[in-house]
Amino acid sequence: MECGLTFERKYCFVTVEFVDDPNVEGRTFWYLCPFREIDVGSKVLAPLGRHNGLQQGVVRGKRFTDEESAPYPLSLIKKVVKIIN
């Protein structure tokens, strides 16, 4: 299923760590994930930084929640582009 909204009317959010980028080493970033079947530990392609360059990262956490409880404003959050593995 490719949509950020689940059947329960909740969004799928993931935290992603970009382990190969020394500029953000040890940090995680929240993303809206359109792939609800994603697992913690999955490798993903996601935009990073001011210029939204696509980089490979690893999902470190996953949460389903409604808009009011979102970890980051929906109008500003970036989206996972692709699951790599």
pLDDT in tens, 46-62: 999 999 999 999 999 99
**Is the pLDDT at 9 greater than 90, yes or no?**
no
Structural contact between residues 71 and 47, judged by C-beta atoms closer than 8 angstroms: no
In contact, 82 and 42? CB cutoff 8 Å:
no
CA separation for the pair 69, 83 (Å, rounded): 25
pLDDT per residue as tens digits for the range 16-51: 999 999 999 899 999 999 998 999 999 999 999 999
Q: Is 71 within 8 Å of 36 (Cβ atoms)?
A: no
**Helix, strand or coil for residue 60?**
strand
Q: Which pLDDT does position 7 carry in this prediction?
A: 53
Is the distance from CB of 7 to CB of 54 less than 8 angstroms?
Answer: no
Identify the pLDDT of residue 2.
Answer: 46
pTM (whole model) above 0.75? yes
Residue 85 predicted with pLDDT over 80: no
Burial of 36 (0-12, 13-18, 19+ CB in 10 A): middle
- 1 pLDDT band (50/70/90 cuts)? very low
